[in-house]
Amino acid sequence: MQKQFFYLIGIAAFLYGCGKTTKEQQQTTQEERKKVFRYNQAEGLTSLDPAHARTQANIWAVTQLYNGLFEFTESLVEQVCLAESYDVSSDGKTYIIKIRKGVHFHDSDVFPDGKGREVTAEDFVYSFKRILDPNTASSGAWIFNDKVLRDKNGNISDTCFKALDKYTLAIYLQKQFPPFLQILAMPYCFVVPREAVEKYGKDFGRNPVGTGPFKFQAWDDGNSLTFLKNPNYWRRDINHNPLPYLDAVQISFIADKNTEFLTFQQGKLDLITGIDASIIDQILKKDGTPREEIAQKFTVQKVDYLNTEYLGFILDPSRYEDKNHPLLDKRVRQALSYAINREELVSYIRNNLGVPGDNGFVPPFLPSFDENKVKGYNFNPDKANALLKEAGYGQGGKKMPELVLYTTPTYKEISEYLQKQWSSVLGIPVRLEINTFATHLDLVNNGKAMFFRASWLGDYPDEENFLSCFYSKNFAPAGPNKTRFKNATFDKLYEDVQKISGFERHDIYHKLDQIVMNESAVIVLYYDEVLRLTQKYVQGLETNAMNVLKLEKVDFTN
């Protein structure tokens, strides 16, 4: 396919030709032509502030604007980024990190003469303390809350982050945490300048200033978001050519996935991912391979994904008016789980995109996974009905009140499949409450949806991150425990595993995961896979199991 270009005039991105006549378009010089990478964010995004990089939409956007001390390779190994080197004490509680010299924030009017200043260790001290500041209301406070040094009164110490000199950062932990470098590679830990945050306050998320390959240009609500190339970006490729290769990134907000796919087919988007069930038949055959016409026109990538798709329950009785609500009964939750044919769901609804969730919450793409060590739920109608009867609801779900499953338009087809399964297998009436993604997220995080569809995309590639979703000190909205699951045995094991490094952790991970399954805190549906479609001219787009979008090395072929 011939390469497509948008033209940029001055600082704004316009449509092809920018209103010029055909003759004027032909006279446009090569220097005026700009390479603009275009992708769509169907679910929208809420902030360009790393402190609020909770959703994939926010993460993808801030990844283009900022950098952190560390980053992940395609194989999900952490490597230095703005860190030049580091040293960890023998007890695992002190990290001394040398900061790369000569890295500057984007040019911005928050700095004298509008020139971005150099990044120092103090910037990381400020950025990390800001995550913990309640006034920031960061959804990422949990990454440090139970890890960094505390004073004798149990409060987080003012010196848990310390600049030893201009380019040396010290981080002091209360106890060792083996995957801590992975924590520092998370978008929450991207560095921000105090000057910009203080000037814009709560509006910093709409006026971002970072160190990344692209810098913020314009945000037209509901229509588009534009980033321009950072001409002063610190990184170069292996041939010492400056990065990025692209001139701009343009993000659209087409909510309808069918329209998004049509727009991509018309060549007006360079990438689509997160394929909706309603259009998956147009892309994949039932065996999961691409259709010939798709493979000929586009580049199709199908890769493992550290994402567990599940249904969650609110398990805190205080959230229910009816203290005997059926969802508070483990047997009912187990019956709902046994009534789901996951193999059929993945095969027929998702065209074999994903792996049936027959085991635990931890996905099969992490080192500790062992299908023989953690047992989940398979399709067993007889056992499902027996459990329901044991819970006192009789054959066919008699006396069972209508349950409400909260979901989003993207998962409507899957939710309708589940609704039919529960009706046909158990006779349980389930009503679907479909809300926009933002509304759904708010309801779930604030414990207002008692039965909900959710997913957990690994923040970092360690099993502990998935299991943190069930630690009682991580209740949402401040933490990832959306179900408000609380189990004393789980909590003790979860705390114990922090003291161990290496493969010895795996045995505890298995025990933790099995507790979650035994209590049916969630219903695991499937372990996801990433399906990415790009135009043939796109090159250099990396993939990894965290589905991170990194555009600094992307280019267009002729």
pLDDT at 18 over 50: no
Cis bond upstream, residue 244 (ω within 30): yes
Lowest mean pLDDT: which of 24-33, 56-65, 89-98? 24-33
CB 47 within 8 A of CB 57: no
465 to 139, 460, 509: CA distances (angstroms)? 15, 7, 11
Phi, psi (5° rounding) for residue 66? -135, 170
Residues 370 and 238 in one domain: no
pLDDT in tens, 487-524: 999 999 999 998 887 788 999 999 999 999 999 999 99
The predicted structure's pLDDT at residue 213: 98
The first and second tokens of residue 99, run together, are 């900061």
Distance separating alpha carbons of residues 513 and 372, to the nearest angstrom: 12
Q: What is the CATH number of the domain that holds 92?
A: 3.40.190.10
Domain assignment present for residue 268? The answer is: no
Number of domains forming the structure of the chain: 2
Q: How far apart are CA 467 and CA 455, in angstroms?
A: 13
To the nearest whole percent, how much of the chain has pLDDT over 70? 93
Range of the domain at 103: 35-250
Asked if the structure places residue 469 within a domain, the reply is yes
Per-residue pLDDT averaged across 440-454, rounded? Answer: 95
Give Cα 503 distance to the centre of its chain: 26
Residues 362 and 233 in one domain: no
The pLDDT of residue 6: 42
Mean pLDDT over the full length of the chain: 91
- What's residue 275's pLDDT? 79
Asked if 557 and 3 count as a contact pair (C-beta separation under 8 A), the reply is: yes
- Whether 372 and 231 map to the same domain: the answer is no
pLDDT average, residue stretch 282-307: 93
Which of 203 and 7 is assigned the larger pLDDT? 203
Same domain flag for 183 and 107: yes
**Do residues 236 and 128 both lie within one domain?**
yes
Cβ distance 521 to 483 under 8 Å?
yes
223 and 75, same domain (yes or no) = yes
Residues paired with 83 in a beta bridge: 99
Q: What is the DSSP letter of 312?
A: E
**Residue 187 CB: number of other CB atoms within 10 A?**
22
Q: Tell which residue, 346, 516, 407, has the closest CA to residue 419.
A: 407
Tell me how far the alpha carbon of residue 182 is from its chain's centroid: 14
- CB-based contact 291:285 (threshold 8 Å): yes
pLDDT value at position 430? 96
Q: What is the dihedral of CA 233, 6, 63, 98, to 10 degrees?
A: -10
Q: Token digits for 390?
A: 């044991």
Section 413-418 average pLDDT: 95
**Taking a C-beta distance cutoff of 8 angstroms, is the pair 516, 341 a contact?**
no
Q: Across residues 477-481, what is the average pLDDT?
A: 84
The CA distance from 323 to 417, in Å, is 29
Q: Rounded to whole angstroms, how far apart are CA atoms 408 and 434?
A: 5
The answer to whether 280 and 351 are in contact (CB under 8 A) is: yes
pLDDT band at 244 (very low <50, low <70, confident <90, very high): very high
The answer as to whether 291 is a domain residue is: no
Number of residues in the chain: 558
In a domain, 13, yes or no: no
How would residue 308 be classed by pLDDT, with cut points 50, 70 and 90?
Answer: very high
Query: Which is it for strands 271-273 and 522-535: parallel, antiparallel or unpaired?
Result: antiparallel
Q: Is the pLDDT of residue 457 over 90?
A: no
What interhelical angle do 412-426 and 381-390 show, nearest 10?
70
In a domain, residue 184? The reply is yes
Split at pLDDT 50, 70, 90, the class of 14 is: very low
Q: Which long-range contacts (CB under 8 A, 24 or more apart) does 318-326 make?
A: 319/447, 319/450, 319/484, 320/450, 325/450, 326/391, 326/393, 326/400, 326/401, 326/403
User: Do 246 and 309 sit in the same domain of this protein?
Assistant: no
Looking at the fold, whether 246 and 381 belong to one and the same domain comes out as no
pTM, two decimals, is: 0.82
- Do 312 and 229 lie in one domain? The reply is no
Q: Provide the CATH number for the domain around residue 483.
A: 3.10.105.10
What is the rounded CA–CA span in Å between residue 396 and residue 424?
9
User: What is residue 64's predicted lDDT score, i.e. its pLDDT?
Assistant: 98
- Which residues, in sequence order, are CB contacts of 534 under 8 Å at separation 6+? 270, 271, 298, 299, 301, 541
Q: Omega before 477 cis (within 30°)?
A: yes
223 is written with which tokens? Answer: 């229509």
Within-domain flag for 23 = no
Banded model confidence at residue 395, pLDDT cuts 50, 70, 90: low
Question: How far apart are alpha carbons 3 and 202 in whole angstroms?
Answer: 40
pLDDT in tens, 107-149: 999 999 999 999 999 999 999 999 999 999 998 998 998 899 9
Could you tell me if 240 and 161 lie in one domain? yes
Domain end call among 210, 235, 250 = 250
Cα 524 to Cα 360, 368, 433, 513: the distances in Å are 7, 18, 20, 12
For 352: left if phi > 0, alpha if psi spans -120 to 50, otherwise beta; the answer is: left
Q: Is residue 470 part of a domain?
A: yes
pLDDT of 479 reads: 80
Structure tokens that stand for 534 in this block: 């790009």
Per-residue pLDDT band at 397 (split at 50, 70, 90): low
Among 166, 162, 133, residue whose Cα is nearest residue 149 = 162
Mean local confidence (pLDDT), 427-452? 94
Residue 33 has a pLDDT of: 65
3-class SS of residue 536: coil
Q: Residue 399: is its pLDDT beyond 90?
A: no
pLDDT of residue 278: 79
- At 289, is the secondary structure helix, strand, or coil? coil
Q: 396: pLDDT confidence band, cut at 50, 70 and 90?
A: low
Q: In whole angstroms, what is the distance from residue 464 CA to residue 513 CA?
A: 10
Helix, strand, coil proportions of the chain in percent (round to 5)?
35, 25, 45
Q: Are residues 312 and 406 in the same domain?
A: yes
Tokens, residue 257: 């996935």
Percent with pLDDT over 90 in the chain: 76
Nearest Cα neighbor of 187 from 68, 86, 279, 106 is 68
User: What is the token pair recorded at 154?
Assistant: 């149990």
Residue 283 and residue 273 in contact, taking contact as beta carbons nearer than 8 Å: no
C-alpha to C-alpha distance for 514 and 374, rounded to whole angstroms: 6
CA distance 428 to 431: 10
Kindly list the strands in the beta sheet with 6-9, ordered across the sheet, starting from the edge strand earlier in the chain. 12-13, 6-9, 33-34
Q: Is residue 297 in a domain?
A: no
Cβ neighbors of 131 (< 8 A, separation 6 or more) are 51, 138, 140, 141, 143, 144, 188, 189
Two structure tokens written together for 133: 């500041």
Give the domain-ending residue among 250, 270, 289.
250
| Same domain, residue pair 379 and 484 | yes
Residues 6+ positions from 470 with CB-CB distance below 8 Å: 361, 481, 483, 485, 487, 490, 494, 512, 515, 516, 521
What the block records as the tokens of 305 is 């994904």
At residue 75 the predicted structure's pLDDT band, cuts being 50, 70 and 90, is confident
